Amino acid sequence: MTSLNQDLAATALCETCRGEPTNMLPEDVDALARDYNETLSSLTNCHAPLKTKSVRARASAPWYNSEIDAAKRLRSKAERIWRKSKLLSDFNQFKVKRNRVTYLMNEARRTFYTNFIKENSNNQGKLFRAVNKLL
């Protein structure tokens, strides 16, 4: 923090503020606001520069649904409670929620691929592409 304080002390804003406050005229307020914004921006860019991150948008699985999403949130909540309390009863609640999420995901996958196979039973190309994606 000392280098930030040193840089701040060396700015024109601090030099202006060291003068007598009674000498500042009302039109100086705009200049002070501009100096304040410039000082804050330059110090922020120097000590905590803006970093850009690229995040890839991943398509969700075709079988994933809102019921699974809600169950996963409940599972995470139960896990946080268990990790905080370390009680056996909370651990058992977490396991129940975990098993429910696993069941819902397996059931959704099974239903999706069963329907997919039924719908595309006469199109071997689509079936083999789906199998290759799974492998």
pLDDT digits (tens, 9 = 90+) for 66-113: 999 999 999 999 999 999 999 999 999 999 999 999 999 999 999 999
0.85 cut: is pTM over it? no
* 111 membership: H or E segment, kind and range: helix 88-119
**Per-residue tokens: 13:** 């804003």
**Per-residue tokens: 111:** 């239903």
Selection from 38, 28, 108 nearest residue 68 by Cα:
108
Q: In the prediction, which pLDDT does 100 show?
A: 98
Q: Choose from 24-28, 41-45, 49-53, 94-98 the range with maximum mean pLDDT.
A: 94-98
Query: For a pLDDT cut of 90, what percent of the chain falls above it?
Result: 44
Query: For a pLDDT cut of 70, what percent of the chain falls above it?
Result: 81
- Taking 70 as the threshold, does the pLDDT of residue 32 lie above it? yes
